[in-house]
Structure 1
Amino acid sequence: MADGIPFQEAIDFLAGKVNLPTKRWDDLQHAGHVRGFAVAGVVRDDMLADFRAAIEKARRDGTGFNEFQKDFDAIVERTGWQYFSHGKTEEERRAWRAQIIYNTNMRTNYMAGRWSQLTDPDILRYRPYLQYIHSGSQHPRKLHLSFNMQVWETTNPIWRVIYPPNGWGCFCDVEALSERELRALGKTGPDPTPDLQPYQATDPRTGQPETRYPGIDRGWAYNVGEEWLHGIVPQELRKPLPAFDPERRPAEDLPALPSPTVVSEEMLAPEGLTDDDYVGRFLDEFGFREKGYGYFRDRSGGIVSMSKAMFETRDDAGNVTGSKSNKYERGPYMPLLAATIRDPDEIWVDWAAVTSGIVLKRSYIRRFVLPDKKALFVRFEWTSKGWIAITGFQSADRYVRKFRTGAMLYRRQEEE
């Protein structure tokens, strides 16, 4: 809120998020934080909803940090949440953690809303430049300080990396400038684009390669506004997860699925392998066969845990009773099951009713055309009960659409 006027774009950004329980801050990355509302260490749906309500109130009503800290204290008292924090006293620990949650969420939704305004065609026409404004911190990050007062065109790709915030506690900002205002600064044009010299590192959770930039905190080298407006979910599907409804049907305006992937014989596993070999072929696709387990970061930015347990059958006592890796003779499709998680057509989250109550399920779906021209539909679902992998030869849109419910986290973009 500014001058008593609600910041509608920032409110809209928050409204489109999906509550996603997480154990660690990097359970989600980049676009995952744009689409998902998460508080590291909060895995209970009710707690997450309370934190979100407190942040939404702060954004909508401009109530500020002191009011949010009261909400934080009330949530901790009610739930007994044991959270990670810094400080010598309990008061200091609570204040530190509340500040992290508040600042991170308020800064990202504010800057997402700002990007929506700054890239409006009418604004771009008269103010085509952005000036980086350093926060004035007493202990500045050298890279952020080096950008201070520098000007680049709003359309310059550099903003996909350095658009604030650029790290934990970063309060840097931008200001839109007209051509006349640029000249008034004594500049004849935008400043030279900085050469940030990205380097390749690895995700410490998954071992997957990731690009990092010196001076920008891990996980912050992206433009929250650009990802929101032009990211991995079509604009018409950027909706929050609705409440559980056993009778819910798919939306009427769902776009068609991406085109099925044509499969060659080389993409399939041989027939006649043992159950363990088929599980191995699946794990091979992620490099996990030797260890038998591992973590993978999916296309929506979320962490997926994998092991041979995904294909084990168990009795009511939890004892392993067999393997479902070649159930219905689907063993040769194991590489395609892996491809469905690695590069799905779509990822959805929705509520599911189980014996213990209502749980959040995460669904990966993808369609293939097999070498014999037969269509194959693969669906992977993860709930608190574990993994369910389903393959079938019915892949028409009208059939698949009944599995496309809840909130979309990712959609594969087809090459034009």
Structure 2
Amino acid sequence: MSGPEELPPANVLPEEAIAFFRAKGFRIGFSWQDVFREEHARWFTVAKAMSRDVLEDIREAVDKAIREGITLETFKKELRPKLEAKGWWGRKTMLDPKTGQHELVQLGSPRRLKTIFRANVRTAYAAGKWERIQRTKKAFPFLEYSSVMDGRERPEHHDWDGVRLPVDHPWWDTHTPPCDWECRCDVVARSQRMLDRMGVTVDAKPPPANDLVPWTNSRTGETGMIEKGLGKGWDYNVGKEYLRGLAPAPLPESFGDDRNGGPEDVGAAAQPSGAQQALIDRFLKAFGIAAGKEAIWEDKEGWPLSVGRGWFIAPGGQVRLPGGAAGVAIDRIAAAIVKADDIRWVWVTGEDGRALLMRRYRRTANGISTLVDIGRDGWRWTSRQGR
């Protein structure tokens, strides 16, 4: 980045960062812990912005900051008058809906606007960058942790500077910046040729973990342990969580539901059984994706698809797999996409009667034609004899 107060120049910000931010829904919360950890990859929230119009003003300003590359000072100068006009500024008494108690709280302030600006811009940039990293990892299969190293970095982040590991190493699941509030660290994609030129090698293993410290979400009562150097609620890879959200969900017309004798649910936590996970991993393997991972995969015409476990998780959190000989169906579905005889855009009618634009993959093998339609609302499939 160009500096602690600045965004990268607009032509450096990947378009994926803008897409990530715009894909978020709204979530109103009184405390920053009401929307916690990876939930921030799905929802835009500002603690104590309890009305939709205030939240929309802040979101519009952040969107402009990401889109146009404006500075923090411009962001504050343009947003502050709007928030003051709506009374969302300074210290005021507000009702906490969770406790039912009135509290004296800080609403808008220069410091809060700085935090909003930095947290949202940096996570958007990180998510967009991760998507690009996944798309280009064949050419740049390694990542290097890069701390600012100006004397203001955290000691743990100082020690992580220069760590080099493969893109898909699990260390990046928790150590991809930003790793805390105000974290200015970054990751740099490297090729083998770049490493050779630098005279360095990939680390055989990640650095030893720091001591674990306990944390508690005082709003939910959730507790856990976290490595020192990682901020509470920051020990996740925002880009990876974003890719999970991009994966199309299974549409009911292909998978049914409980009332119609569809596949068995395994609960809202979306934790597949061992047999179900084996089928999902079998699907991922057809795309060259490791078991349990997510990645951006490009079809033979260069169109990107987010492929991961989310393909088999319904919006309610239940696992959905093809009925009958699920393994055979899994293979046909994957082959229809990876080895498509034909790819085209088609307009289809959804169950609710809406017209949907979907990317259709068709493959015929052994006298059986398989169609897979993938769109913004989800995906579906059919197989039948003949073409």
Instruction: Give TM-score, length-normalised by structure 2.
Output: 0.58
Structure 2 Cα separation of the partners of residues 365 and 210 of structure 1: 25
Work out the CA distance in 2 between the residues paired with 1:64 and 1:39.
20
Question: 1 CA distance for matches of 2:232 and 2:194?
Answer: 34
In the alignment, is the contact (CA less than 8 A) between 1:7 and 1:59 conserved in 2? Answer: no
Instruction: Give the corresponding residue for 1:212.
Output: 226
The one-letter code sitting in structure 2 at the alignment partner of 1:58 is: A
Q: 1:72 to 1:253 in 2, by over 3 A?
A: farther
The share of aligned pairs that are identical, in percent, is 28
Task: Pick one of 173, 184, 203 that aligns with 1:160.
Answer: 173
Q: Distance in 2 between matches of 1:174 and 1:262?
A: 37
- CA-CA distance at 1:252 after TM superposition: 8.9
Q: What SS is found at the alignment partner of 2:152? A: coil
Q: Sort the Cα spacing of 1:149 and 1:299 in 2 relative to 1 into closer, same or farther, 3 A.
A: same
Q: 1:284-332 CA distances to partner (integer Å, 9 max, x unpaired)?
A: xxxxxxxxxxxxxx969xxxxxxxxxxxxxxxxxxxxxxxxxxxxxxxx
Residue number in structure 1 paired with 2:88: 81
- Answering whether residue 207 of structure 2 is matched by residue 194 of structure 1, we say yes
Q: Do residues 97 (structure 1) and 112 (structure 2) align?
A: yes
**Inter-partner Cα distance in structure 2 for 1:177 and 1:215:** 24
Per the alignment, in what secondary structure is the counterpart of residue 156 of structure 2?
helix
- After TM superposition, give the deviation of residue 261 of structure 1 in Å: 4.4
Match of 2:191 in 1: 178
Mean Cα deviation higher: 53-62 or 69-78: 69-78
Cα 1:203–1:97 shift into 2, 3 Å: closer
| Distance 1:158-1:43 versus aligned 2 partners, 3 A rule | same
TM-score normalised by L of structure 1: 0.54
Answer whether contact 2:123 2:238 (CA < 8 A) is retained: yes
Deviations 1:165-208 (A, max 9, x none): 00010010111111122233333432531232545544333332
The superposition leaves residues 224-274 of structure 1 with CA deviations (integer Å, 9 ceiling, x where unpaired) of: 0011002xx45236xxxxxxxxxxxxx9989755844489xxxxxxxxxxx
Question: What number of residue pairs does the alignment pair up?
Answer: 254
Residue 115, structure 1, aligned to residue 127, structure 2: no
Q: How far apart, in 1, do the equivalents of 2:314 and 2:90 lie?
A: 36
Unmatched runs of 5 consecutive residues or more in structure 1: 86-92, 238-250, 264-297, 301-343, 348-363, 368-397, 400-407, 409-416
Partner letter of residue 224 of structure 1?
A: V
- Aligned residue type for 1:104: A
Amino acid at match of 2:247: Q
Q: Secondary structure at the match of 1:228?
A: helix
> Which runs of 5 or more structure 2 residues have no equivalent in the other structure?
1-7, 93-107, 271-312, 321-350, 353-375, 377-387
Cα deviation, residue 55, structure 1? 0.6
CA contact (8 A) 2:17 2:128 kept: yes
- Structure 1 residues 72 and 182, CA gap change in structure 2 (3 angstroms): same
Of 30, 33, 38, which aligns to 1:26? 33
Give yes or no for the alignment of 1:64 onto 2:77. no
Kindly report structure 1 stretches of 4+ aligned residues shifted beyond 3 Å. 1-6, 82-85, 197-202, 251-263, 344-347, 364-367
Question: How far off its partner does 1:3 sit?
Answer: 5.4
Whether 1:49 aligns to 2:56 is yes
Q: Secondary structure, in 3 states, of the residue corresponding to 1:119? A: helix
Q: Report the Cα offset of residue 136 of structure 1.
A: 2.6
Shift of 1:159: 0.3
How far apart, CA to CA, are the structure 2 residues paired with 1:118 and 1:131? 12
CA separation in 2, counterparts of 1:146 and 1:211? 20
